[in-house]
């Protein structure tokens, strides 16, 4: 009985180490998304915005609505790609450790 508990604790420790390692890797990943030459957004694998660039030639009151729409769309696209990268990395942990897929675990 206590052997199983020891094995379980060892597995939990290994999962924690793997998650921490993956989180550090995701922090250094860069995902770049552009909307033509107007907007460029760079996010990391933890959904942090690393940089945001707007092409100055499009900065005018006449373009403000278009810029706002492009900015929202580009940010949403970048965040979706970052979440996908994060989920893929977390799924790899469950596969590598042969853990069952438990919704919401990672």
What confidence tens digit (pLDDT) does each residue in 65-92 have? 999 999 999 999 999 999 999 999 888 8
Tens of pLDDT along 1-23? 556 777 778 877 888 888 899 99
**Which residues make Cβ contacts (< 8 Å) with residue 23, sequence separation at least 6?**
46
> What architecture (CATH level 2) is domain 2-96?
2-Layer Sandwich (3.30)
- Count of beta carbons in the 10 Å neighbourhood of residue 15: 17
Q: Please state the rounded mean pLDDT for residues 28-45.
A: 97
pTM score:
0.77
pLDDT reported for residue 105: 58
More confident residue, 94 or 68: 68
Whole-angstrom Cα distance, residue 34 to residue 54?
A: 10
pLDDT reported for residue 93: 77
């Amino acid at each position: 009985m206590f052997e199983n508990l020891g094995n379980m604790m060892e597995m939990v420790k290994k999962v924690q180490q793997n998650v921490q390692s993956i989180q550090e890797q995701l922090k250094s990943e860069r995902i770049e998304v552009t909307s033509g030459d107007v907007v460029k957004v760079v996010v990391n694998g933890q959904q942090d915005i690393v940089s945001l660039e707007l092409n100055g030639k499009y900065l005018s009151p006449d373009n403000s609505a278009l810029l706002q729409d492009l900015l929202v769309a580009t940010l949403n696209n970048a965040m979706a790609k970052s979440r996908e990268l994060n989920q893929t990395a977390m799924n790899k942990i469950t596969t590598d450790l042969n853990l069952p897929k438990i919704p919401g675990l990672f």
